[in-house]
A and B are shown apart, each in its own frame.
Chain A
Amino acid sequence: MKAEEDESNEEVEMVEIFVMGKRYKVPKGLTIMTALEYAGYKFTRGCGCRGGFCGACSTVFRTKDEYKLRMDLACQTAVEDGMFLVQLPFMPAVREDYDVEEVDPEEHDNVLLDYYPEVARCVSCNTCTKACPQDIEVMDYVQAALRGDIERTAELSFDCIQCGLCSIRCPADIKHYHMAQMARRIHAKYNQPESDELAERVKEIKEGKYDEEMEKLVNMEREILKKRYDERDIKEEG
Chain B
Amino acid sequence: MEGHLYYPGCTLKTKASDYEDSAMKVMDKLGEPLVEMDDWYCCGAVQSLAEDDIMHQIAPIRTMCCAQEQGEDEIVTLCDMCYNVLRQANDRMKEREDDLETMNEFLDEDPDYEGGVEVYHLFHLLEDMKDEIEEAVETPLNDLVVAPYYGCMLLRPDNVAIDETEDPEIMEGLLELLGLEVLENPKRTECCGSYHTVNRSDIVEKRVEDIVSHAVDEGAEAMVLSCPLCQFNLDYHQRATEFEIPVFYLTELMALAFGLDIEVKNHKIDPRSLLKEKGIVE
Q: What is A's interface to B at a CB cutoff of 8 Å?
A: 109-110, 120, 122-126, 130, 139-140, 143, 146-149, 171
Is A147 a contact of B59 with CB atoms below 8 Å? no
Contact with A along B230-246 (1 / 0, CB 8 A): 00000000000000000
Residues of A close to B44: CB separation below 8 A? 123
Taking chain B's interface residues, is the majority helix, strand, or loop, or is none over half, making it mixed?
loop
Whole-angstrom distance between the alpha carbons of A171 and B40 in the complex? 20
Q: Note all chain A residues with C-beta closer than 8 A to B55.
A: 123, 125, 171
Whether B109 lies near A125 (C-beta < 8 A) is no
**21 sampled A-B residue pairs with Cβ under 8 A:** A109-B14, A122-B42, A123-B58, A123-B59, A124-B42, A124-B58, A124-B62, A125-B55, A125-B106, A139-B41, A140-B39, A143-B41, A143-B42, A146-B42, A147-B8, A147-B10, A147-B14, A147-B42, A148-B10, A148-B13, A149-B13
B14 touches A110 (CB 8 A): yes
> Which of A130, A148, A149, A171 has the most chain B CB atoms inside 10 A of its CB?
A148
- Is the beta-carbon distance between A124 and B14 smaller than 8 angstroms? no
B15 at the interface (CB under 8 A from A): yes
Query: Does B206 count as interface, using CB distance less than 8 angstroms?
Result: no
Chain B: minimal CB distance from A109 (Å): 5
Residues from 20 to 72 in B contacting A, C-beta threshold 8 Å: 39-42, 44, 55-56, 58-59, 62
Chain B nearest Cβ from A93, distance in angstroms: 21
Write out the residue numbers on chain B whose beta carbons fall within 8 Å of the beta carbon of A120: 42
* Chain B contact residues, CB within 8 Å of chain A: 8, 10, 13-15, 39-42, 44, 55-56, 58-59, 62, 106, 109-110
Q: Which of A109, A110, A122 contacts B59 (CB 8 A)?
A: A122
Check A148 against B62 for contact (C-beta < 8 Å).
Answer: no
Q: Taking CB as reference atom, which chain A residue is nearest B110?
A: A126
Chain A residues contacting B110 (CB-CB under 8 Å) are: 126
Contacts known (A122-B59, A123-B59, A171-B55); A109 close to B42, Cβ less than 8 A: no
Min Cβ gap B8→A in Å is 8
Kindly provide the distance from the CB of A117 to the nearest chain B CB, expressed in whole angstroms. 11
Residues of B close to A171: CB separation below 8 A:
55
From A123, A139, A143, contact of B56 by CB (8 A): A123
- B42: chain A residues at CB < 8 Å are 120, 122, 124, 143, 146-147
In the complex, chain A residues whose CB is within 8 Å of the CB of B13: 147-149
B58 touches A125 (CB 8 A): yes
Give, as a whole number of angstroms, the nearest-CB distance from B102 to chain A.
13
Q: Is A124 within 8 A of B15, CB to CB?
A: no
Shortest 8 CB-CB contacts between residues of A and residues of B: A124-B59, A147-B13, A147-B10, A124-B41, A148-B14, A124-B62, A146-B10, A146-B42
Minimum distance in angstroms from B89 CB to a CB of chain A: 11
Do most interface residues of chain A lie in helix, strand or loop, or is the interface mixed? loop
Closest to B61 in A: A124
CA gap between A120 and B195 in the complex, in Å: 14
**From residue A130, how far is it (CB to closest CB) to chain B in Å?**
7
How far, in angstroms, from A109 to B10 measured CA to CA in the complex? 12
A216 to B272 alpha-carbon distance, docked (Å): 68
Q: How far is the CB of B213 from chain A (nearest CB, A)?
A: 29
CA of A148 to CA of B20 in the docked complex: distance in angstroms?
Answer: 15
Complexed CA–CA distance, A140 and B58 (Å) = 14
Residues in chain B near residue A149, CB distance under 8 A: 13
A120 CB → nearest B CB, Å: 8
Beyond known contacts A124-B58, A130-B109, A148-B10: 15 more, CB 8 A cutoff: A109-B14, A109-B15, A110-B14, A122-B59, A124-B42, A124-B62, A125-B58, A125-B106, A126-B110, A143-B41, A147-B14, A147-B42, A148-B13, A149-B13, A171-B55
Instruction: Select from chain B the residue with minimum beta-carbon distance to A142.
Output: B42
Report the minimal beta-carbon distance from B93 to chain A, rounded to whole angstroms.
Answer: 15
Residue among B10, B44, B59, B62 facing the most chain A CB atoms (10 A cut-off)? B10
The smallest beta-carbon distance between B64 and chain A, in angstroms, is 12
> In whole angstroms, what is the CA distance A143 to B42 when docked?
7
CB distance from A39 to the nearest CB of B (A): 32
Determine the distance from Cα of A171 to Cα of B54 in the docked complex, in whole angstroms: 14
Shortest A131–chain B CB gap in Å is 13
Shortest Cβ distance from B67 into chain A, in angstroms? Answer: 14
For the complex, give the distance between the alpha carbons of A146 and B11 in Å: 9
Q: How far is the CB of A44 from chain B (nearest CB, A)?
A: 36
Q: Which residues of A contact B15 (CB under 8 A)?
A: 109
